[in-house]
Structure 1
Amino acid sequence: MRIVDVCAFYTPHGGGVRTYVEQKLRIGPQLGHEIVILAPGDEDGVVERGPNARIVTLKSPRFPLDRKYGYFASAEQLHGALDALAPDFVEATSPWRSAGLVADWAGAAPRSLVMHADPLSAFAYRWFGQVFSRRTIDWQFSVYWEHLRRHSRRFDHVVCANSDLSRRLAEGGVPRTVTLPMGVEPGRFSPLNRDPALRARLLAACDLPESASLLLGCGRLSPEKRWPMVIDAVNAAGQQSPIGLVMFGEGRERRTILKHIAGNPHVRLFEPERDRETFARILASPDGLIHGCEAETYCMAAAEARASGTPVIVPDGGGAADHAGDGAGMTYAACDPAAAARAIATVLRSPRRQPQEARTITQHFAELFALYEDTRARVRMAA
């Protein structure tokens, strides 16, 4: 099949969507499909990524609130590009404007809406959750819910990477929800990557001896990740026994987070580690991974830590929670630093368990594309 991903969230500057896109461009052709990423860009262009894999950009305005991203401003432009590409299957991978544009396209190809974002959890519930119930917030954001319900009826599937999001969408009247978890890079993450010398160096950077515990946090430095809460939880747990926290990430909240660290020598913030082999050793070497975001659609950091044999300490909502099952870690009440501190203490007292075989991103794409092939065959038989 020729699969066209209308990807409004793609940017060459990084992020989880770019990682997913790069994996799709590599794995899709291996599974016998042609992958085209249709994305907003500064200019019209085509970037070839090998046989049956390319990125097509349409000249588009920059998104005012985050200028790393563009947005599809013209329905005529996007529909013309889809007509020219003649896809066998179309994906809309943003729940915002591009979902409506793809739904409105007059082509005959079946299509899916892939939820790479959970805006209500990332924004509305986070902003207003301490004042109003979720039911009240959902009512206040009824325009967004109606947008999802209206457009989802015109898609063959609404694909979610975690069961919590699928459940909430289905309960909110969004039909055809399907849960298809993502997965980790095959052969990359393993407990065999554990490096005691690296662990000792990271603890030394936190002004602590090897006998202390080491926690890892990694991800974008943005408000929904709740890094100040994570720091507070680690500091509270560290009152009982010494704990170092090393964080790897970049983003617009860097100054806020450094201010919150307030010179604490046991908490260190580093730039992201770009070398994948080194990052795999970092993930396998601490005593736990701590995460604060309850709005993850999958939480790749927790998935990779679990595959590395590192226990995860994660909120009980969103995609992160799925990675703590089967003894792989512990969940805590989301947004509660005291609950997170208790979970940290429990995990650090517990022996490590042998990890189960990790789900890979190749398995994810094989299942996703099989779903698309079945849908296409069904549509053709009904025509």
Structure 2
Amino acid sequence: MRIVDVCAFYAPRGGGVKTYVDRKLAAGARHGHEIVVIAPGEQRATEVRGPGARIEWLPAPKMPFDRNYRYFPDQESIHAALDRLRPDMVEASSPWRAAEAVASWRGSAPRALFMHADPLAAYAYRWFGPVAKRETIDRGFDWFWRHLRRLDARFDLVVSPSRSLADRLTDGGLRQVVTHPLGIASGEFGPEHRDPALRAALLRRCGLGPEATLLLGLGRHAPEKRWPMVVDACMAAGVERPVGLVLVGDGRERAKILRHVGENPHVLLLAPVTDRPALAQLLASADALIHGCEAETFCLVAAEARAAGLPLIAPDRGGAADQARESGGEVYRAADAGSAAQAVLRLIERGVDTLGAEARARAGGVRTLDRHFADLFAAYRGLGAGMVRAA
């Protein structure tokens, strides 16, 4: 099959979506498929990534609120690219303009909406959650649910990467929802990369000894990640037990996070780690991963941490919560620093060494991207065959 992904949030310096799409470009040929990504770029260009894998960049302006990303200026350019590519299957990777363009394209190929993002959780629930119940927020944003239901009626599949998001979409009235959990790259992460010397060195940089608990936070410095709340939780837990926090990442909120940390010696900020073996060693050498974002659709970093043998501390909503429960870790009330601090203390009281050993024993069972793509491509193949039979 020729699978074309109209991916509005693919960018050279992108985050989780870029990581996933890059993996899909590499996986397509192994499964006998051609993968073409249509992405907004600086200029029209074709970038070949390997046999049967390429990116078709369409000229697009930069987004005003995040200059790392661009946006498709119109539907016509997307329609023209799809007409030229003649796909057997079309994906839209966000529920906005790209999805509208894919839905309105006149071609006969089946199409899937892949929910890489959860806009309500990332924005509406985060903004209004402190003053309103979720049911009230959903009623206030009924226009968005109507929009999703209209897309649902025009797509053959709505792919959710986690059960928690799939349940919310179904509760919201969507009928084409299927769950295809993501996964991690095979062979990159594992408990065997654990380095006690690295753990001790990081704790020393946090002003603590090896008896302390080393928590790791990994991700973009963006509002929805709630790193200031994570810092507050670890500082509060640190009053009762020695806790060191290492935050790895960068982004537009970095200055705000630095101000929030202030002179606290037990919080260490590190630049993003792009070297995969080094990241594997860092993950495996912590005692637990702590996460603050309740808007994750899957939470790849949480899955990678599980594969490295870590228990997780995560909010009780979103894809990170699913991962934390499977890790044997702890969940807390989303957006509540006090609840997160108690989750940290509960994990410590249960025994960091014991929980770590149990998590390392389970690490090999974490779902892989190979399994994800095999399942997803099989679903696409079956959908295409069904349309042929119906023709």
What TM-score, normalized to structure 1?
A: 0.98
After alignment, is 323-332 or 210-219 more displaced? 323-332
Equivalent in 375, 380, 387 of residue 372 of structure 1: 380
The 2-side partners of 1:223 and 1:326 are apart by 26
Q: Deviation at 1:60? A: 1.4
What is the CA distance between 1:277 and its match in structure 2? 0.3
2:215 corresponds to 1:215:
yes
| Equivalent-residue separation in structure 1 for 2:328 and 2:30 (angstroms) | 31
Deviations 1:97-117 (A, max 9, x none): 111110000000000000010
Partners of 2:165 and 2:212 lie apart in 1 by 37
Q: What are the superposed Cα offsets for residues 250-299 of structure 1, whole Å, 9 maximum, x if unpaired?
A: 10000110111011010011101111001001101111110010000111
Aligned ranges for residues 306-317 of structure 1 at < 5 Å?
A: 306-317=306-317
Identical-residue share of aligned pairs (%): 55
Q: Partners of 1:167 and 1:338 in 2: how far apart?
A: 28
Q: Structure 2 CA distance, aligned partners of 1:162 and 1:18?
A: 18
Counterpart Cα distance in 1 of 2:276 and 2:36:
25
- Of residues 186-195 and 343-352 in structure 1, the stretch that sits farther from structure 2 once superposed is 343-352
Q: Shift of the alpha carbon at 1:348?
A: 2.1
CA distance in 1 between partners of 2:206 and 2:230 (Å): 16
Return 137-146 or 212-221, whichever deviates more.
Answer: 137-146
Matches within 5 A, 1:54-93: 54-93=54-93
The letter for the 2-side match of 1:32 is: G
**Worse overlay, 345-354 or 17-26:** 345-354
**CA–CA separation in structure 1 for the residues paired with 2:322 and 2:206:** 30
Q: Tell me which residue corresponds to 1:176.
A: 176
- Aligned twin of 2:146: 146
* Counterpart amino acid of residue 118 in structure 1: D
Q: In the alignment, what sits opposite 1:296?
A: 296
The 3-state SS of whatever aligns with 1:263 is coil
Question: Which 4+ runs in 1 deviate beyond 4 A?
Answer: none
Alignment of structure 1 residues 93-132 onto 2, 5 Å: 93-132=93-132
Q: In the aligned structure 1, how far is the partner of 2:152 from the partner of 2:42? A: 29
Say if 2:278 is the partner of 1:278: yes
How far off its partner does 1:326 sit? 4.1
State whether residues 14 and 68 of structure 2, in contact with CA within 8 Å, keep that contact through their aligned partners in structure 1.
Answer: no
Q: Name the amino acid aligned to 2:89.
A: F
Structure 2 residue matching 1:58: 3-state secondary structure: strand
Report the Cα offset of residue 327 of structure 1: 5.0
Q: Is the 8 A contact 1:164 1:319 kept in 2?
A: yes
Aligned residue for 1:244? Answer: 244
SS at match of 2:91: strand
Determine the C-alpha separation between the residues in 1 that align with 2:76 and 2:241: 61
Please name the residue that 1:323 is paired with. 323
TM-score (norm 2): 0.96
Q: Distance in 2 between matches of 1:328 and 1:32?
A: 37
SS across alignment from 2:239: coil
Counterpart secondary structure, 1:364? helix
Q: Distance in 2 between matches of 1:348 and 1:284?
A: 18
1:245: Cα distance to partner? 0.4
**Contact 1:62 / 1:70 at 8 angstroms: preserved in 2?**
yes
Please name the residue that 2:287 is paired with: 287
**Cα 1:74–1:378 shift into 2, 3 Å:** same
Contact 1:306 1:328 survives alignment (8 Å): no
Cα displacement string for residues 166-190 of structure 1 (whole angstroms, at most 9, x for unaligned residues): 1111111122111111001101111
1:46-89: per-residue Cα shift (whole Å, max 9, x none)? 00001100000111122222221111112221101000000000
How many residues end up aligned between the 2 structures? 383
CA–CA distance in 1 between the matches of 2:258 and 2:66?
A: 22
- The residue aligned with 2:202 is 202
Shift of 1:367: 0.5
Does the Cα contact within 8 Å between 1:288 and 1:348 map onto a contact in 2?
Answer: no
Q: Distance in 1 between matches of 2:336 and 2:76?
A: 47
Distance 1:62 1:261 in 2: 31
Q: Answer whether contact 2:14 2:69 (CA < 8 A) is retained.
A: no
1:228 is aligned to 228
- 1:41 corresponds to: 41
* 1:355 maps onto 2:362 in alignment: yes
SS of the equivalent of 1:153 reads helix
> Where in structure 1 are there 5+ consecutive unaligned residues?
none
**What is the alpha-carbon distance in structure 1 between the residues aligned to residue 388 and residue 99 of structure 2?**
23
**What is residue 265 of structure 2 aligned with on the other side?**
265
The answer to whether the Cα contact below 8 Å between 1:287 and 1:348 also exists between their aligned partners in 2 is no
Paired AA for residue 99 in structure 2: A
Greater alpha carbon shift after TM alignment, 247-256 vs 337-346? 337-346
Secondary structure (helix, strand or coil) at the match of 1:355 reads helix
Distance in 2 between residues matched to 1:145 and 1:14, nearest whole Å: 27
2:60 is equivalent to residue 52 of structure 1? no
User: CA offsets, 1:283-324, max 9 Å, x none?
Assistant: 011111100100001111111111111110011100001112
The one-letter amino acid of 2:255's match is R
Distance apart, 1:378 and its partner CA: 0.4
How far apart are the structure 1 equivalents of 2:244 and 2:153?
49
Letter in 2 for 1:355: R
- The alpha carbon displacement at 1:45 in A equals 0.6
Measured against aligned partners, the alpha-carbon deviations of 1:315-351 in whole angstroms (never above 9, x if no partner) come to 1100001112345311111111111111111212321
Mapped to 2, the partners of 1:252 and 1:272 lie a distance apart of 13
